[in-house]
Amino acid sequence: MDAIKTISQLLTQSGCDYAIYDLGRRIEVIPNQEFEQVEQSRLPYPYPVQRQAQFAITYWNEAGEPWFWFLKFDLDERGLLNSADLGNFLKYVVDAMGSRLQKNLTDEQQEQLANNPYTVKPKEDKLAMFNSIVRTRLDLPASQYLDHADHYFQGQLGWDNWQTVGLQGITDLAARLSFAQNERTIKKALSHLPNQPLYALLGALEHCQISSSLANRLLDRFDDELKKPEVDLFLVTALLRAMAGDKSDALPTALNTVLSRPELCHPEMMIAIAGRSWSPLGTESVAEQYLIRLAQTQQQTLFNQLFADLVMIPKLRLVLLPLLNQAPSAELEQALLALQRTTTQGS
């Protein structure tokens, strides 16, 4: 046991291929080499949420289907994993499975391995999307629900006949955007979908890397919603979340639009930006405007929670920390001072 100090080492010694996915924010791959450095406390965890690392490990060998672990670990103030927690988890694994992970688990072993404080069960929608992403990456068959979902999203069943469309089929379709005509099917369907399948689709897309073409189609729908006499704030929020995997200009454009209109900056929108669509906050001016709008909600507890959460993200840390000493507005300065008072009282 002393020779096995990291999960990566255990998987490698077992002759397994493996992949790591963040689950706390988006379902996003963490490169194996980066995860090894995280385990060795050489790098902070890249996507912390509520001061935790929440991630999935999937591993497989030549025998076939992958196995999954869904885990969470507390992080210190620098965003680093606790080596003692990691060691404790590895002890649970070795006690249940041995030092080589090359056999199927009995029910007793599965129960023994699951009975530890580091194992979690993802919510149903995230679990469905995770399964779709992994099976697509490993070139494994999609679920039995994909064909029916595909027929529905092509409009062949009638747009009001969504009740029999399975969530797993929708996530399979979203995970396979590069397959056949799937992206084109989704783009065409966006103008026709009733709310229930639309929200399910948008919830799946927020975990996908999307093309600039699909991102711009989502942006068009976003802009169309904002032109209506009564804006559906929850739909606008869902559309913004769905653009989280955009690498073009669509997400920053949509986010700037939101931040330019105070009436759109309700708490749910602020939470959505922090949780999913945070990448444009790496630009100082955007981060400042976001925090000003957050301060304007006059919900200090929410401000404290979201600032503390965002400042733990390594890519945002150096953008946000300087604002503690030089806020660009009186409202933000007051909110930051209240945050610091709370932090001081709690320490």
Q: What is the pLDDT of residue 199?
A: 98
| Whole-number Å distance between alpha carbons of 190 and 211 | 15
74 strand-pairing partners: 52
Whose CA is closest to 161, among 151, 174, 173? 151
| Interstrand relation of 28-30 and 17-22 (parallel, antiparallel or unpaired) | antiparallel
pLDDT, mean of each 10-residue run, the chain (347 residues): 80 88 97 96 96 94 80 96 92 77 64 82 95 94 96 97 97 93 96 96 97 97 96 97 96 97 96 97 96 95 96 96 87 90 69
Residue with tokens 């999609």: 142
Among residues 200, 199, 201, which one has the least CA distance to residue 236?
199
Task: Report which of 1, 31, 22 is spatially closest to residue 13, judged by C-alpha positions.
Answer: 1
Token pair in block for residue 313? 């993200």
pLDDT for position 94: 83
Q: 219, 276, 274, 227: which is closest to 248 by C-alpha?
A: 219
Q: Of the candidates 108, 45, 37, 112, which has an alpha carbon nearest to the alpha carbon of residue 72?
A: 45
**Two tokens at 187?**
């783009």
Beta strands in 8-115 (DSSP E): 17-22, 28-30, 52-60, 67-74
- Residue 9 and residue 101 in contact, taking contact as beta carbons nearer than 8 Å: no
CA distance 59 to 20: 9
- pLDDT at residue number 1: 44
- Rg over alpha carbons for the chain, rounded to the nearest Å, is 22
Q: Are 127 and 135 in contact (CB under 8 A)?
A: no
Look up residue 283 and give its DSSP letter. Answer: S
State which H helix or E strand residue 70 sits in: strand 67-74
Residue 79 CB coordination number (10 Å):
20
Please, what's the largest Cα pairwise distance for the chain? 65
Predicted pLDDT at 286: 97
Distance of CA 270 to the CA centre of its chain: 16
Q: Are strands 28-30 and 67-74 parallel, antiparallel or unpaired?
A: unpaired
**Edge to edge, what strands does the sheet with 17-22 contain?**
28-30, 17-22, 52-60, 67-74
pTM, full prediction: 0.93
